[in-house]
Structure 1
Amino acid sequence: MKYPDAIDRILRNNVDILSHWILDKKGPFSKDYIDIWYEKYKEYR
């Protein structure tokens, strides 16, 4: 899909940020965050 240049830059920048979060295990990709939500999942399944 061809986005306008401004939108393409925004998307690429945010994908880069998200990729770094995944690699650095930050935010919702941190072990603690995953453990908290996995425990909540087990309570309600």
Structure 2
Amino acid sequence: IKRATDIMVAGKVVVVCGYGDVGKGSAHAMKSLGARVIVTEIDPI
């Protein structure tokens, strides 16, 4: 995402739909860039 766009992620709210392998990686990456991450999941963990 960072390579494809020229958007500052820090301070923004990011919603990740699903918490599988891709969702976990995306949430971790966005958090490390300084975003506030909200995760939605239909199956309880």
- Normalised by the length of structure 1, the TM-score is 0.35
More strand by share: 2
| Bigger relative contact order, structure 1 or 2 (CA pairs below 8 A, ≥6 apart) | 2
- Normalised by the length of structure 2, the TM-score is 0.35
